[in-house]
């Protein structure tokens, strides 16, 4: 199988490594030769590091590298069976690339986008054969992260969807099938992890270090929300939030934060700029959290119930199955538990009561309880009750 990867940045290079490791012949395209050279050099470093760690040997390294070639013309992808675009998140640019690409490839070539939030249907509309277009969303770093969201557009044929799922499974990834809605699964469901934490900070209920400490200590999250935003980049995280907010017709649940907007405007982007919510300079004094168990429990429960509500609403609107939603969050962003399984553990009644208390306090629509939670509470059901019965 020949795979074309459009874009030789971090994500494109990672996708190429995944496909090449699985035995595919891969062609990485970029318009800039220096970008292709950087991609090739980065792969050399990554594979050499894997040899040092004893995960592969020299023969395997040479096999993977031998499966990848680097090209500077879209025409060179004419023999690809599958192409995956991983370039800038600009709809017009993606459409232009896809429209040109279609003139070179075969009629049965699958044309996919790695977009994290743009409409697959809109991208597909640039093609003469839109039924061949699909979303294949990897997570960074692609070789390490197990999850891949597969997003068929309304135009996508079932044959293309089935083939892509088969291919990605063959690459030893976990597929989460998602509906073509803003943010798909992960970038939609994860919004409260950042948004509600920022809201708690802006209300003055706790400082940044305390919020991060609370969610790591009580929730078991690997990184606190502010640490993670600094890691991702405040410019990137803010743009995704703003995009989802607009795409959902300004639903208050996805409302961006002025705090993050100001940091982005100031150039305090996080680790990559040396300063964000935290100072990463050598002389910086480490912030000390307030280790108050009562406050920590409030912070954790408030953020968690908002995450659960978002996951439940994704299920309510048939964005994905319960299993795929929980797999997406544990394998796509390393959550310690699936949110729907977490809801079962905490109790559906607890979730509804927490959300209703927040709504009664603030009278803001961002705290509205998903109908599926309220319905399940009345019927005394849990998300995975049938699955648990079957397992037992």
* 3-state SS assignment for residue 29: strand
Asked if 207 and 189 count as a contact pair (C-beta separation under 8 A), the reply is: no
Residues 6+ apart with CB under 8 A from 48: 61
Specify the length of the chain in residues. Answer: 392
Q: Which strands sit side by side in the sheet containing 110-113, from one edge to the other?
A: 68-71, 25-29, 2-6, 82-85, 110-113, 133-138, 147-152, 174-177
d(CA 86, CA 79): 19
Residue of 119, 137, 227, 264 marked catalytic: 137
Residue of 187, 197, 264, 327 marked catalytic: 187
Active site residue 149: yes
Residues 6+ apart with CB under 8 A from 295: 205, 206, 210, 214
Active site residue 234: no
Asked if 111 and 83 count as a contact pair (C-beta separation under 8 A), the reply is: yes
Active site residue 214: no
E strands present in the chain = 2-6, 25-29, 68-71, 82-85, 110-113, 133-138, 147-152, 174-177
DSSP 271-335: GGGTBSSSB-STTPPPP-----HHHHHHHHHHHHHHHHHHHHHHHHTTSS-HHHHHHHHHHHS--
Residue of 116, 119, 214, 257 marked catalytic: 116
Residue of 149, 196, 227, 310 marked catalytic: 149
Active site residue 321: no
Residues tagged active-site: 116, 137, 149, 187
């Amino acid at each position: 199988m020949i795979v074309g990867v459009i874009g030789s940045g971090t994500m494109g290079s990672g996708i190429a490594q995944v496909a090449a490791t699985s035995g595919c012949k891969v062609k990485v395209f970029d318009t800039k030769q220096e970008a292709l050279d950087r991609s090739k050099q980065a792969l050399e470093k990554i594979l050499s590091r894997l040899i040092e760690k004893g995960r592969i040997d020299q023969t395997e390294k040479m096999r993977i590298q031998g499966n990848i070639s680097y090209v500077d013309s879209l025409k060179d992808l004419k023999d690809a069976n599958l192409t995956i675009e991983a370039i800038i998140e600009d709809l017009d640019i993606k459409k232009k690339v896809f429209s040109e690409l279609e003139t070179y490839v075969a009629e049965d070539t699958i044309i996919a986008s790695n977009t994290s939030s743009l409409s697959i249907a809109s991208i597909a509309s640039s093609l003469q054969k839109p039924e061949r277009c699909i979303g294949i969303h990897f997570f960074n770093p692609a070789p390490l992260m197990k999850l891949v969201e597969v997003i068929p557009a309304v135009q996508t044929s079932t044959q293309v969807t089935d083939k892509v799922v088969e291919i990605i499974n063959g690459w030893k990834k976990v597929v989460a099938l998602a509906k073509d809605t803003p943010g798909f699964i992960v970038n939609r469901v994860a919004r409260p992890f950042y948004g509600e934490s920022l809201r708690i900070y802006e209300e003055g209920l706790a400082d940044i270090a305390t919020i991060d400490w609370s969610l790591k200590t009580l929730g078991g999250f690997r990184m606190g929300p502010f640490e993670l935003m600094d890691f991702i980049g405040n410019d990137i995280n803010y743009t995704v939030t703003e995009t989802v907010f607009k795409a959902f017709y300004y639903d208050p649940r996805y409302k961006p934060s002025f705090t993050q907007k100001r940091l982005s405007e100031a150039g305090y982007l996080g680790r990559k700029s040396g300063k964000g919510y935290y100072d990463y300079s050598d002389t910086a004094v480490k912030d000390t959290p307030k280790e108050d168990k009562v406050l920590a429990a409030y912070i954790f429960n408030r953020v968690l119930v908002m995450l659960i509500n978002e996951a439940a609403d994704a299920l309510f609107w048939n964005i994905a199955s319960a299993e795929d939603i929980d797999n997406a969050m544990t394998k796509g962003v390393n959550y310690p538990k699936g949110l729907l399984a977490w809801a079962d553990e905490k109790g559906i009644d607890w979730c509804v009561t927490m959300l209703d208390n927040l709504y009664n306090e603030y009278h803001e629509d961002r705290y509205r309880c998903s109908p599926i939670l309220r319905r399940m509470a009345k019927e005394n059901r849990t998300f995975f009750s049938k699955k648990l019965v079957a397992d037992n």
